Amino acid sequence: MRAVVALVLSAALVTPAPPLPGRGVGPVHQGVAVHDGVAVATPSADELARLPEARYDAVIPGLDIDPPKRFTGGPTMILTLDHDVALYPTAKDHAVARLAARNFLGHPTVVLAYPPRRDGWQLVLTPARRQLPSAGPGAIAQSYGWIRADTVPTQAEARYRVEISVPRGRLSITGPGGPRAFPADVGGRRTPTPTGVVGYLQARYLDPAQGQSSHRIQLTSLHATAADEPYGGDDGGLIGLHFGSGSSHGCVRLGVDAIAALDDLPLGTPVRIVGAGDGE
Amino acid sequence: MTRRLFATLTVAAIALAGAQFAPAAAHAADAGPGYDYRGDPHSHLGGYLDPDGSVSYCIDAGKSSPLGGPTSDEGLVDHVNDLGASGMRKLAYVLLRHGNTRDADTAAAVALVVWGLADPADHAARGGDGFVITRAPAEHRATILELAARFRDEAERYRTPEPAAGELSLTVERDRSHAMLGVSVSPASATGTVELSNAVFADTGLASREGVADGDQLEIDVQHPAGAAAYAVRAEGSFEAVGHTDGTVHLYRTPGAQTTVSAGTRVPMAFDAAAAVQIEAPKTVVLPRVAG
């Protein structure tokens, strides 16, 4: 009987997710940007609107899954959008997605990015996935895309860092005012919290439907890598930092003090999760 | 239809039309509101009752009373005695605004004003207001004279108003659930009824409101139609102001006696005004469920 259950679970895990909006949208070309001295197509407003939105529950194969190795500096720039922005893959030959001006709460979208390069391109962390874990090896917790830096004039240096040590069960905040640390519970053995990755705080909200009526869920840009939806649903295996305790499905469970401290951080603040192999 | 039937109907139609537009048959004038000097109805200060219930007034100072005589309805006229356009406008205004009254003091005052306007020379020759007022009881004379002075002042200042018109405005608040209805109408005395679509008045919860007037600022609660991504909130108003005169009066003649006039045509001052604003329904926020 146990073997049958295991088989059923396995089948469920590898079943491809239903198609998401934006899948199958081809590259668009209009306007001009420059990459390595070569003109790069940029989408018109209409074409931009038709691109898939890189939101928290999207899967966009054209996005990058890892920053270039030579791009060694960390993501430190917090970008606040006031209009939709095209996202390009490393090749930058066509736009593959867009960051919407407003997020699911109707607030201006905030993302984290690396500092702009001299050629005007800037690598940003996106809220979307590039690949589902069920699609095979290669799914990681954070996706990336390139934007033209001059399309997002509102950029600020991140002043705080959040780091979560899975082995130590600890969340640390560094920045003005000195470091602070709080106990943190992380994912269990079957649904581990992804490690070795940097994301950012993308939104915070109360949701009584998730048992969070008093302490706001701190939604990160990170996604589970052990399963498409470790806790069911179809929201993208989102990694949240929220009130609670005990082994989780990948989220980071925290006490009241930690949530209050996170509440004070700007959206876009980098969130790094480290595991045993990350110098811990 | 047979030729005979057609002819019969035609004759009937002509007869009906004639009844409508031709002067009515003679009738006997009845005493109306006002005062009789020492109980004599032939020394009357006030109006006379017409067959249609309106009140008419003498325009021939010094002539015999029309009471009892065969009075004929001459219909609407735009000229009486030697009155010019300005005088006719004043006369028509006073009759339309104040003539149809059952109040004795008011009717007596209108009679003085009408004599003064329509037959000023004879009225003055017979002592004017100061003499005719003696037909009224002493305790009413001051009131009558005050009313007459007011009516004369109104008539002097009366001008044909601009066509009635108005505007409604809708301002939707940021939350898209509340709005403000502004009302601007001319003449300012106009009032009306406003019907809302996809909204109700905040204080009553109703989509309709009567007595809406110039300068009103009314709070509105928007009602989002279920399932509609976008829709219009509309306010449609029907307003009306007291009508104005077209310068005509209704003439009655009594051979050998006073000619009388009553109010002429009232030009309606009604108009519609509307406003609409397109609203996008608030998007339902779907909160992402975290892995837990």
User: B85-94 vs B138-157: helix axis angle to the nearest 10?
Assistant: 130
Nearest chain B residue to A192 by CA: give it: B291
Extended beta strands in chain B, E state? 27-28, 30-37, 40-49, 55-58, 70-77, 165-172, 178-186, 191-197, 199-201, 208-213, 217-222, 230-245, 249-253, 260-263, 266-280
Q: Would you call A134 helix, strand, or coil by DSSP? A: helix
Beta bridge partners of B71: B27
| Nearest CB partner across the interface for B287, out of A207, A229, A251 | A207
Res B55: pLDDT:
96
Write out pLDDT tens, residues A222-261.
Answer: 999 989 988 888 888 999 999 999 999 999 999 999 999 9
Res B172: pLDDT:
87
B174 touches chain A (CB under 8 A): no
Sheet with strand A77-80: strands edge to edge: A143-148, A121-126, A110-113, A77-80, A155-157
CA atoms of A123 and B79, how far apart (whole Å): 90
**Half-sphere exposure in the Cβ direction for B26 (13 Å, CA):** 10
- Residues B234 and B270 sit within 8 Å (Cβ to Cβ): no
Distance of alpha carbon B195 from its chain centroid, rounded?
24
Beta bridge partners of B145: none
User: Dihedral angle at the C-alpha atoms of B17, B22, B28, B29, nearest 10 degrees?
Assistant: 110
Beta bridge partners of A200: A270
Higher-pLDDT residue of B30 and A195 is: A195
Res B22: pLDDT:
42
| Distance from the A235 Cα atom to the nearest Cα atom in chain B, whole angstroms | 6
CA atoms of B161 and B246, how far apart (whole Å): 11
Pairing of strands A161-165, A155-157: unpaired
Question: How big is chain A by its Cα radius of gyration, in Å?
Answer: 19
| Nearest CB partner across the interface for A251, out of B286, B287, B290 | B290
pLDDT band, very low/low/confident/very high, at A13 (cuts 50, 70, 90): very low
Report the percent of chain A where pLDDT is more than 90.
65
- B258 burial (CB, 10 Å; 0-12 / 13-18 / 19+) is buried
Pair of tokens at residue A170:
């600890």
- Please choose, from the candidates B133, B134, B95, B135, the residue with its C-alpha nearest in 3D space to the C-alpha of residue B114: B95
Pair of tokens at residue A100:
């919407």
pLDDT at A142 over 60: yes
| Distance from the A187 Cα atom to the nearest Cα atom in chain B, whole angstroms | 9
- When the pLDDT of each residue in chain A is averaged and rounded to a whole number, the result is 84
Q: What is the mean pLDDT for each group of 10 consecutive residues in chain B (292 residues)?
A: 39 37 62 90 91 93 86 92 92 95 97 96 92 95 97 92 89 84 91 95 95 95 83 94 89 91 90 91 81 81
Write out pLDDT tens, residues A21-32.
Answer: 332 223 333 455
B285 touches chain A (CB under 8 A): yes
CA atoms of B138 and B44, how far apart (whole Å): 15
Angle at B51 between CA B45 and CA B55, to 5 degrees: 30
B286 touches chain A (CB under 8 A): yes
Res A36: pLDDT:
57
| Nearest CB partner across the interface for B291, out of A57, A104, A237 | A237
Q: Which positions in chain B touch A233 (Cβ < 8 Å)?
A: 289
- Please choose, from the candidates A11, A60, A109, A50, the residue with its C-alpha nearest in 3D space to the C-alpha of residue A223: A60
A210 touches chain B (CB under 8 A): yes
User: Dihedral angle at the C-alpha atoms of A103, A108, A110, A116, nearest 10 degrees?
Assistant: 120
Res A278: pLDDT:
78
Amino acid at B142: A
Res B45: pLDDT:
95
B283 touches chain A (CB under 8 A): yes
The neighbour count for residue A7, using CB atoms within 10 Å, is 10
A194 touches chain B (CB under 8 A): no
Write out pLDDT tens, residues A152-163.
Answer: 888 999 999 999
Res A222: pLDDT:
97
Q: Which positions in chain A touch B287 (Cβ < 8 Å)?
A: 104, 205, 207, 209-210
| Nearest CB partner across the interface for B291, out of A57, A205, A250 | A250
The neighbour count for residue B92, using CB atoms within 10 Å, is 29
Pair of tokens at residue B20:
């409508």
Token look-up 């090896």 returns A137
Res A14: pLDDT:
29
A205 touches chain B (CB under 8 A): yes
Indicate whether this model's pTM tops 0.80: no
Amino acid at B71: T
